Amino acid sequence: MKGCIVEWAKLRLRVQTPLFTQGWSGGGGVTVRARGVRGALGFWLRAVIGARVGNDLGRLAEYQRAVFGGTACQSPVLIRVVDESLLPEATYPPWLFKRPGAAQGPIYGMLYLLGQGLADRRDGLKRDAVQPGSEFTVALRLPPDGLARDLVWASLWCARWFGGLGARARRGYGRFEIVNVDCLIPPWFEQRPQWDSVADGVGGVGLPVQLKELVDGIRLGEPALLDAVPQYPRFGHDGDTNRWASARQLDVRAGSESFKSWDRCLSHLGREWQLFRRDRDMGSPQRQTSEWLRTVNGSAGSFPLGVLGLPVVFTDAVASKEAGSAVTVTVDLIDKMGEPLRLASPMWLTALDDAEGQWRAQTLTFVHDLCPAGAAPGVKDLARARGWSGLDPHVLRASHRAWLSVGQTRPLPVSGGAGVAGSGAGGASQGGRDGPVVPDDLEEDADGVAPGGG
pLDDT, tens digit (0-9, with 9 covering 90-100), for 46-59: 999 998 888 999 99
Same domain, 72 and 141: yes
Which of 232, 247, 262 corresponds to the end of one domain? Answer: 247
- Interior CA angle at 167 toward 7 and 68, to 5°? 30
Assess if residue 410 is contained within a domain: yes
pLDDT greater than 50 at residue 10: yes
Same domain, 218 and 323: no
Same domain, 157 and 235: yes
Which residue type is seen at 408? Q
Same domain, 207 and 290: no
- End-to-end CA distance of the chain: give it in Å, rounded: 39
Give the pLDDT band (50/70/90) at residue 344.
very high
pLDDT of residue 122: 86
d(CA 341, CA 110): 26
Q: What percent of the chain has pLDDT over 70?
A: 79
Give the global pTM: 0.87
Contacts of 239 (CB under 8 A, 6+ apart): 226, 227
- Short-list 43, 1, 19, CA closest to 155: 43
Assess if residue 255 is contained within a domain: no
Same domain, 290 and 148: no
CA 378 to chain centroid, in Å, comes to: 22
The partner residues of 176 in beta bridges, in order of sequence, read 15
Query: Burial, 159: exposed, middle or buried (Cβ in 10 Å; 0-12, 13-18, 19+)?
Result: buried
Domain that holds residue 441: 273-348+371-453
Same domain, 280 and 223: no
Same domain, 219 and 78: yes
If residue 247 lies in a helix (H) or strand (E), which one and from where to where? Answer: strand 245-250
Assess if residue 203 is contained within a domain: yes
> Across residues 417-435, what is the average pLDDT?
37
Identify the weakest region by mean pLDDT among 51-65, 143-157, 252-266, 368-382: 252-266
Assess if residue 306 is contained within a domain: yes
Q: In this structure, is the dihedral angle defined by the CA atoms of residues 256, 405, 347 and 56, taken in order, positive or negative?
A: negative
Residue 190 CB neighbours (<10 A): 12
Same domain, 319 and 433: yes
Higher local confidence (pLDDT), 92 or 452:
92
d(CA 184, CA 213): 18
Which residue type is seen at 377? P
Burial 294-332 (b: 16+ CB within 10 A, else e): bbbbbebbbbbbbbbbbbbbbbbbebbeeeeeeeebbbb
Assess if residue 94 is contained within a domain: no
Identify the weakest region by mean pLDDT among 8-17, 45-54, 171-180, 202-211: 202-211
Assess if residue 123 is contained within a domain: no
For residues 432 and 298, is the Cβ–Cβ distance under 8 A?
yes
Task: Report the domain count for the chain.
Answer: 2
Same domain, 224 and 293: no
Same domain, 24 and 84: yes
For residues 170 and 348, is the Cβ–Cβ distance under 8 A?
yes
Give the pLDDT band (50/70/90) at residue 150.
very high
Query: Which of the listed ranges 110-119, 120-129, 166-175, 186-195 does the model predict with the highest average pLDDT?
Result: 166-175
Q: What percent of the chain has pLDDT over 90?
A: 41
Higher local confidence (pLDDT), 219 or 164:
164
- Mean pLDDT estimate for the chain: 81
Same domain, 200 and 243: yes
Identify the weakest region by mean pLDDT among 144-158, 259-273, 277-291: 277-291
pLDDT in tens, 299-331: 899 999 999 999 999 988 888 889 998 888 999
> Across residues 60-68, what is the average pLDDT?
91
d(CA 129, CA 36): 14
Higher local confidence (pLDDT), 45 or 184:
45
Query: Which of the listed ranges 16-20, 30-34, 239-243 does the model predict with the highest average pLDDT?
Result: 16-20
Which of 212, 232, 247 corresponds to the end of one domain? Answer: 247
pLDDT greater than 50 at residue 428: no
Assess if residue 360 is contained within a domain: no
Ranges of H-type helices in 109-176: 109-114, 146-162
Same domain, 206 and 280: no
Higher local confidence (pLDDT), 437 or 35:
35
If residue 329 lies in a helix (H) or strand (E), which one and from where to where? Answer: strand 328-334
Assess if residue 366 is contained within a domain: no
